[in-house]
Amino acid sequence: MTQDIAHPILQKAIQGLNVSKEFKAMAKANGYKTLQNILDHPLHELPFKKLSGYRMLKELLDIFNENELEHLLDGLDN
């Protein structure tokens, strides 16, 4: 599902964000260049992607909470 939200962090390169090296490796392995790329896919599938797991889902949720974007996750699992 695509969210049309203009928050700058959604368009920043994941490799340039202050996230774990594991999160960066997971993003690279799955072709995610930005957080928006992750939002464009069903969130419930994230833990089952290459180099991912529930820890990556937790880190993503933490990123959204820190940036007051948790509302973007409501109803995302369609």
Mean pLDDT of the 2-7 span:
62
3 in a structural domain: no
Check pLDDT > 50 for residue 2.
Answer: no
Mean pLDDT of the 25-44 span:
95
CATH number at residue 14: 1.10.150
19 in a structural domain: yes
How far apart (Å, rounded) are the C-alpha atoms in residues 42 and 47?
A: 11
45 in a structural domain: yes
DSSP structure string for 17-73: SS--HHHHHHHHHTT--BHHHHHTS-GGGGGGSTT--HHHHHHHHHHHHHTT-GGGG
Check pLDDT > 50 for residue 65.
Answer: yes
pLDDT at residue 75, as a whole number: 64
Domain hosting residue 59, numbered range: 8-68
76 in a structural domain: no
Residue 42 CB: number of other CB atoms within 10 A? Answer: 11
74 in a structural domain: no
Q: Kindly indicate the confidence band of residue 9, based on its pLDDT and cuts at 50, 70 and 90.
A: very high
How far apart (Å, rounded) are the C-alpha atoms in residues 52 and 46?
A: 7
Domain count, the chain: 1
Residues above pLDDT 90, as percent of the chain:
78
